[in-house]
Amino acid sequence: MKKPFKKTWMIASAFTLGMAILTPLQAGATTLETKDSNINVQLEQKISGTIKEVFGDGMNLKGIDGKNYFISFSKFSTEQIEKMNLVVGQEISIEGKVVDDYSDFYTFEVYKKDLPKEVTKEDLGKLEKLFNEIKKLEKEASVEVEKEVTEEEFEKKYEEFEKIYEEMYKITKPYILANWQPETFEQYLEGFGFSEGNIAIKENDKKQLQAIYEEWVKLEKSGDEEKANLKYEELYTILQPYLDELYPPQTFEEYMEGMELDIPAETMAKLKTLYEDAQKAENDDNMELSETVWNQFHDLLSQFIEPLTFEEYMSDYDFEVSKEDKEQLKKLYEEAMKLDNEQADEKWEAFYNILEPYFALNKEILFFASKLTINNQDYLPQSE
């Protein structure tokens, strides 16, 4: 098992989840002078490369300069991205700019795309002001995480996020409700996949569910969220037994299937008991006991799992380390694997301290795309 890289930190806000990575402007890229909506002159870059992996909101690119990029499609609509028909291995050219943080991909223009078109200019102005306050708090939170502030201090910052988000929601809520077209009860029920699982809902339960669903829709439309949430809980009270049937808990035998481990029968019986005890504790909402028993289960099971060799472990990385560093890393890795978790911490710390400069050199450059060129065809954001 890989030990998590301790120098990585995550920042969450009401809008974004991103990794705080400071990336220098890439040297040697083609630069283009453009103007943004605020008439501020900015440098845009042009990069080319091969697609390594495609996601819903972006892709990983191997640049012809040998560097790794994450390209954000935030400025483009879902329909545009689908029309691009992006394929791994495809060559592509992109214009845009380098950003410091994943949260920088989420601009007000991107946020505004998902708002109902009826939002007035006045309300858009209010929302933009509040949005900019959120972005300012994000930057402050990023700095605080780097300084390793206390949980209490970070919680206070998060409360500020929530307060601003609530103000924004008060503005957008009437527009959202006015545009909301709830699915029919039949569509709602179909979405669970009961028919595919050959699970029939009793006629009496179905009638109750439909009545509750229709009441919930009325409450949502009225804006009474508290009552609407309580009504929605009623739906799940009836649905839960059917959901349990649709998604039964994984048995011990199913969990172990495919694991080619040489485990004595006596130990296998103990593992099964621990597995079922942990599941029972979860069902009883005894999370403390569940965690304890799961730890016992995994500790016992891990004794029979052959750990990755150093060479297998390093094969996951697409960079090479120097001969001297490789020797040190292998020694630390093999020593750490022989120790228990607490005793191994010091070894892992030293291991990742050696790897950290390699991570820094090979980390992805975050790139905010404003134009894509594929097979000589240009794609621009719809607003442009």
The model's pLDDT over 170-208, given as tens digits with 9 standing for 90+, comes to 999 999 999 999 999 999 999 999 999 899 999 999 999
pLDDT of residue 30: 42
pTM for the predicted model, two decimal places: 0.68
What's the average model confidence in pLDDT over 348-361?
A: 94
Checking if the pLDDT of 21 tops 90, the result is no
The alpha helices in 50-146, defined as continuous H runs, are: 78-84, 108-113, 121-146
Checking if the pLDDT of 25 tops 70, the result is no
Question: What proportion of the chain, given as a percentage, has pLDDT over 90?
Answer: 67
| Angle formed by the axes of helices 323-338 and 341-362, nearest 10° | 150
β 365-374/68-72 pair status: parallel
Per residue in 263-313, pLDDT tens? 999 999 999 999 999 999 998 989 999 999 999 999 999 889 988 999 999
- Under the banding of pLDDT at 50, 70 and 90, the label for residue 149 is low
Ordered DSSP codes for 214-259: HHHHHHHHHT-HHHHHHHHHHHHHHHHHHHHHHSPPPPHHHHHTT-
Rg of the chain (C-alpha set): 26
For 196, 210, 236, 276, 384, the CA distances from 241, given in Å and listed in that order, are: 16, 17, 9, 20, 50
Instruction: Please classify residue 335 by burial: count the beta carbons closer than 10 Å to its beta carbon, then call 0-12 exposed, 13-18 middle and 19+ buried.
Output: middle
CA dist 23 and 101 (Å) reads 8
pLDDT of residue 66: 87
379: left (phi over 0), alpha (psi -120 to 50) or beta: beta
Checking if the pLDDT of 24 tops 50, the result is no
Residue pair 71/94 in contact by the 8 Å Cβ criterion: yes
Within 13 A of 98's CA, how many CA atoms are on the CB side?
Answer: 19
Checking if the pLDDT of 156 tops 90, the result is no
What's the average model confidence in pLDDT over 16-34?
A: 35
Instruction: Please classify residue 149 by burial: count the beta carbons closer than 10 Å to its beta carbon, then call 0-12 exposed, 13-18 middle and 19+ buried.
Output: middle
- Under the banding of pLDDT at 50, 70 and 90, the label for residue 51 is very high
CA dist 358 and 314 (Å) reads 12
Burial 125-144 (b: 16+ CB within 10 A, else e): eebeebbebbbebbeebbeb
pLDDT of residue 11: 36
Extract the tokens encoding 47.
């990069």
Extract the tokens encoding 162.
């929530």
pLDDT of residue 184: 96
Per residue in 229-239, pLDDT tens? 999 999 999 99
Angle at 254 between CA 301 and CA 196, to 5 degrees: 150
Domain spans in the chain, listed from the N-terminal domain onward = 185-246, 262-302
Per residue in 88-144, pLDDT tens? 999 999 999 999 888 899 999 999 988 999 999 999 999 999 999 999 988 887 776
